[in-house]
Amino acid sequence: MADRRPAPLDIFSKLRSATPARIFLPRAGTGLTTRATLDFQLAHAEARDAVEERLDVEALDEELSSRGLAAVRVRSAARDRRGFLLRPDLGRRLDDESRARLKSAAGDYDIAFIIAEGLSARAIARHAIPVLDRALASLDPASWKIAPIILAEQGRVALGDDIGETLGARLAAVLIGERPGLSSPDSLGVYLTYAPRIGRTDAERNCLSNIRPQGLAYDEATRKLLYLCNEARRRRLTGVALKDEAETLASEELRSIDVKN
Amino acid sequence: MYGTTIRGTRYSFPDLKSLMAKATPLRSGDCLAALAATSAAERVAAQMALADLPLSVFLNEALVPYEEDEVTRLILDSHDRRAFALIASLTVGEFRDWLLSDAADEESLAALTFGLTPEMAAAVSKICRNQDLILIAAKRRVVTRFRNTLGLRGRLSSRIQPNHPTDDARGVLASAIDGLLLGNGDAVIGVNPASDSPEQCYELLRLLDELRETLNIPTQSCVLAHVTTTLQLMERRAPVDLVFQSIAGTQAANSSFGIDLALLRESREAALALKRGTIGDNFMYFETGQGSALSANAHWNCDQQTLEARAYGVARIFDPLLINTVVGFIGPEYLFDGKQITRAALEDHFCGKLLGLPMGCDVCYTNHAEADQNDMDDILALLAVAGVNYVMGVPGADDVMLNYQSTSYHDVLAVRRMLNLAPAPEFAHWLTDVGLSDAHGELLAQALPASFAPLLERA
């Protein structure tokens, strides 16, 4: 047997700082110590609570009106949380009453912002308004006709297609609570779809993910969103084609940096 | 038309695929597809009708049209009638009885392998209780080799899954070292790359290969990129041990993954030419999961469990080193809760083994499923009793890149100890040689072998 020596603690702590993964956990026999076990349980409990929580539409509506922003409230066809989880198709469709209400708000809009709780109402409660504030402040009102803000209960990403089509918006930006991770119960996602209509696929959207202070910061997320909005309008599309181009541009920038160095 | 009469009530099923779907134990994905039985009694009626069906029916009625699906063509064209002769006269129900009998042993089950179609395996699984799925699967071992020997009786292997949200080299290395110190990684050290960029994947391959070489570990590494990316990397002479790909049970679903059988054959040829395996030529690595065809709208109105078994029909012609179902990853609209995930895990393992695959399982769930780590403890223990080849070792069971929970390095240790299972023999020797385990194979607490020191200092 080869010789062994005790683990130098500084090396482990150095390694631990290289990843958010749960590494070098304290052991009790082959298992984890009580504290490490309960830490995990707490993280899972927070993620579960985030899934179960419902969006406080009232509070959000008030926040918007305090900014002078008109909002329209809608619901998907999913009646309750269980139905929402089991039937993704229902969460992608407006209920009849909501569709009627939206039709009366229809118009000629360049973009509609849709706030949907998705799988984390907590993400919406924490991050939707900060991102929306920044986005609205950066869009020139002279060239962007913005639809009333849509507040959608029990909505999935593709509900934005139904909403955008009913409203008559050329772009739909869906701010949605993402599926909670164990260490990220409040990640916000933004999905952008050009010419939204029922039947659009995910390949026809662009997505910004993990928006929260510990992930993609508000300012950076807004900068990327505006880039995508402008490009989507200019090229009249969203999705894989737009993403490829954005990545090509980015890698060309990188190559030119390589040459310079 | 199929059917049965129970106490005066007639239950009928228009075709074989609807009979199969209605006979399937309840799961949300079949409800979502509007294929499930509409009552508990109808489900059992379908199971009774299915049990009375001769196995040979599956050779005459394709669930997915032969003309339109290359997976169906593969399954029927490669069917071994001589091997099938052993069970050719049986019904599905009689086949279950035979599988439970002493006539079905390691040898006869191995001989039967290519006489069974995936649909036959799926059919018999539907009328098995969980206990049957465990008991029968435990009879069948499938052994594969690349740099070590996986799947032997009395062994449980694990994949180190050292994923990182941005593929950071130090972060991946740190998680991999933690796994090795905990006796994991004999199945593979395999990273899911956060980005499919060939450059990033190349860097990860080099990192893992260097780790393996430096520590002289008898195992293999893998970057689980799309097969087209891996093909490119092999052309550039990257150190590719295993070729990974997600696969499904219909041509249309595979097409949604950007693959077909020809592409898989091409990648297998390319990897074979590399001759990197030291003791064997199993080097394909596949992942599957119930519900993938439905989510790609490529399910031909077949139930998700039957289509999962058909994915194994694809896998087995490539002699994979590893294949695992990622059972609870897809979400509650396909497998709602711990009960459904458990059932699916046992079915997948059972069907995979009967079809001759070195079946592993990513025992896992997402946070919107009605499941928790206790369910994973149960599934892991059940699969280990059933003789699963390998499971995942994820740091603290928390995958910080893919955002789901699986089993941990520690879970692997616990099950090995509970059931007296050891790692692959070559790997077990290595653990002892470097000083991570004692002469009896027991892992030493907090050991840090001298050979790890240079690696740690560089990290």
Q: Is the pLDDT of residue A120 over 90?
A: yes
Q: Do A47 and B367 touch (CB under 8 A)?
A: yes
Write out pLDDT tens, residues A121-149: 999 999 999 999 999 999 999 999 999 99
Stretch B51-55: mean pLDDT: 98
Provide the 10 A C-beta neighbour count for residue B432.
18
Stretch B383-389: mean pLDDT: 98
Residue B242 sits in the same domain as residue B324: yes
Q: Do A11 and B457 touch (CB under 8 A)?
A: yes
Q: Do A4 and B456 touch (CB under 8 A)?
A: no
- Tell me the shortest Cα–Cα distance from B430 to chain A, in angstroms: 10
A-contacting residues of B 388-417, CB under 8 Å? 395-398, 400, 403-405, 408, 410, 413-414, 416-417
Residue B87 sits in the same domain as residue B150: no
CATH number of B64's domain: 1.10.220.70
Distance separating alpha carbons of residues B17 and B300, to the nearest angstrom: 9
- Ramachandran bin of B216, using left for φ above 0, alpha for ψ from -120 to 50, beta for the remaining angles: left
How many CB pairs below 8 A link A and B?
A: 146
Write out pLDDT tens, residues B5-39: 999 999 999 999 999 999 999 999 999 999 999 99
pLDDT of residue A247: 54
pLDDT of residue A257: 36
* CB-nearest partner of A31 from B172, B332, B414: B414
Q: Is the pLDDT of residue A231 over 90?
A: yes
Distance separating alpha carbons of residues A162 and A94, to the nearest angstrom: 7
Task: From chain B, pick out residues whose CB is under 8 angstroms from the CB of A85.
Answer: 332-333, 336, 368
Write out pLDDT tens, residues A4-53: 454 556 778 888 999 999 999 999 998 999 999 999 999 999 999 999 99
Residue B237 sits in the same domain as residue B365: yes
pLDDT of residue B306: 98
* CB-nearest partner of A22 from B395, B432, B453: B395
Domain tally for chain B? 2
pLDDT of residue A1: 40
A5 touches chain B (CB under 8 A): yes
Task: From chain B, pick out residues whose CB is under 8 angstroms from the CB of A24.
Answer: 178
Q: What residue of A is the nearest CA neighbor of B176? A: A23
Q: Is the pLDDT of residue A258 over 50?
A: no
Distance separating alpha carbons of residues B150 and B220, to the nearest angstrom: 11
Would you say residue B335 lies in a domain? yes
Q: Do B403 and A88 touch (CB under 8 A)?
A: no
Would you say residue B22 lies in a domain? yes
A-contacting residues of B 311-350, CB under 8 Å? 331-333, 336
SS3 of chain B = CEEEEECCEEEEECCHHHHHHHCCCCCHHHHHCCCCCCCHHHHHHHHHHHHCCECCHHHHCCCCCHHHCHHHHHHHHCCCHHHHCCCCCCEHHHHHHHHHCCCCCHHHHHHHHHHCCHHHHHHHHHCCCHHHHHHHHCCCCCCEECCCEECCCCECEEEECCCCCCCCHHHHHHHHHHHHHCCCCCCEEEECCCCCCHHHHHHHHHHHHHHHHHHCCCCCEEECCCHHHHHHHHHCCCCCCCEEEECCCCHHHHHHCCCCHHHHHHHHHHHHHHCCCCCCCCCEEEEECCCHHHHCCCCCCCCHHHHHHHHHHHHHHHCCCEEEEECCCCCCCCCCEHHHHHHHHHHHHHHHHHCCCCEEEECCECCCCECCHHHHHHHHHHHHHHCCCEEEEEHHHEECCCCEECCEHHHHHHHHHHHCCECCHHHHHHHHHHCCECCCCCECCCEEEHHHHHHHHHC
Task: From chain B, pick out residues whose CB is under 8 angstroms from the CB of A244.
Answer: none
- Tell me the shortest Cα–Cα distance from B435 to chain A, in angstroms: 6
Q: Do A15 and B170 touch (CB under 8 A)?
A: yes
Distance separating alpha carbons of residues B55 and B117, to the nearest angstrom: 10
Q: What residue of A is the nearest CA neighbor of B27? A: A86
ipTM of this predicted structure: 0.94
Would you say residue B450 lies in a domain? no
- Tell me the shortest Cα–Cα distance from B423 to chain A, in angstroms: 15
Closest-CA residue to A47 (of A155, A120, A153):
A120
Q: At B126, which amino acid appears? A: K
Residue B105 sits in the same domain as residue B225: no
Stretch B345-351: mean pLDDT: 98
A197 touches chain B (CB under 8 A): no
Q: At B27, which amino acid appears? A: R
Q: Do A20 and B413 touch (CB under 8 A)?
A: no
pLDDT of residue A67: 95
Q: Is the pLDDT of residue A249 over 70?
A: no
Stretch B148-167: mean pLDDT: 96
CA atoms within 13 A on the CB side of B247: 28
| Multiple choice CATH, A54-249, 3.40.50.300, 3.40.50.11240, 1.10.3720.10, 3.40.50.1820 | 3.40.50.11240
Residue B258 sits in the same domain as residue B111: no
Residue B222 sits in the same domain as residue B164: yes
CA atoms within 13 A on the CB side of A225: 31
Task: From chain B, pick out residues whose CB is under 8 angstroms from the CB of A43.
Answer: 398
Q: Which of B163, B403, B419 is the best mutation test for A, with the most CBs of A within 10 A?
A: B403
Bridge partners of residue B323, in order along the sequence: B286, B359
Would you say residue B444 lies in a domain? no
Write out pLDDT tens, residues B332-346: 999 999 999 999 999
Residue B303 sits in the same domain as residue B212: yes
- Tell me the shortest Cα–Cα distance from B356 to chain A, in angstroms: 32
* CB-nearest partner of B448 from A6, A27, A43: A6
pLDDT of residue A3: 46
A183 touches chain B (CB under 8 A): yes
Q: Which of A1, A12, A17, A19 is the best mutation test for B, with the most CBs of B within 10 A?
A: A19
Residues in CB range of B191: below 8 A, 6 or more apart? B161, B162, B163, B164, B167, B172, B204, B208, B222, B223, B224
Would you say residue B459 lies in a domain? no
- Which tokens go with B26? 């309840």
pLDDT of residue A253: 44
B443 touches chain A (CB under 8 A): yes
CATH number of B316's domain: 3.20.20.70
Residue B81 sits in the same domain as residue B108: yes
Closest-CA residue to A230 (of A171, A162, A163, A165):
A171
Q: Provide the percentage of residues in chain A whose pLDDT is more than 70.
A: 90
Pick from A210-224, A238-252, B386-400: least confident: A238-252
Write out pLDDT tens, residues B228-285: 999 999 999 999 999 999 999 999 999 999 999 999 999 999 999 999 999 999 999 9
Task: Kindly indicate the confidence band of residue A164, based on its pLDDT and cuts at 50, 70 and 90.
Answer: very high
Integer Rg of chain A from CA: 22
Task: Kindly indicate the confidence band of residue A252, based on its pLDDT and cuts at 50, 70 and 90.
Answer: very low
- Average pLDDT in chain B: 96
* CB-nearest partner of B400 from A16, A20, A44: A20
A-contacting residues of B 345-374, CB under 8 Å? 366-368, 372-373
Check if the beta carbon of residue B321 is closer than 8 Å to that of residue B358.
Answer: yes
- Average pLDDT in chain A: 89
Q: Residue B106 belongs to what domain range?
A: 2-129
Stretch B79-83: mean pLDDT: 98
* CB-nearest partner of B447 from A4, A48, A180: A4
pLDDT of residue A9: 62
All structural domains of chain A with their residue ranges: 54-249
pLDDT of residue B52: 98
Would you say residue B309 lies in a domain? yes
Would you say residue B255 lies in a domain? yes
Q: Provide the percentage of residues in chain A whose pLDDT is more than 90.
A: 79
Q: What residue of A is the nearest CA neighbor of B368? A: A51
Residue B91 sits in the same domain as residue B173: no
In degrees and rounded to multiples of 5, residue B248 shows phi and psi of: -140, 180
Task: Kindly indicate the confidence band of residue A221, based on its pLDDT and cuts at 50, 70 and 90.
Answer: very high
B451 touches chain A (CB under 8 A): yes
Provide the 10 A C-beta neighbour count for residue B397.
24
Residue B347 sits in the same domain as residue B377: yes
- Tell me the shortest Cα–Cα distance from A58 to chain B, in angstroms: 25
Residue B26 sits in the same domain as residue B160: no
In degrees and rounded to multiples of 5, residue A249 shows phi and psi of: -55, -45
Provide the 10 A C-beta neighbour count for residue B334.
28
Residue B198 sits in the same domain as residue B101: no
Stretch B410-434: mean pLDDT: 97
Q: Do B456 and A36 touch (CB under 8 A)?
A: no
Distance separating alpha carbons of residues B370 and B375, to the nearest angstrom: 10
Task: From chain B, pick out residues whose CB is under 8 angstroms from the CB of A40.
Answer: 373, 396-398
A42 touches chain B (CB under 8 A): no
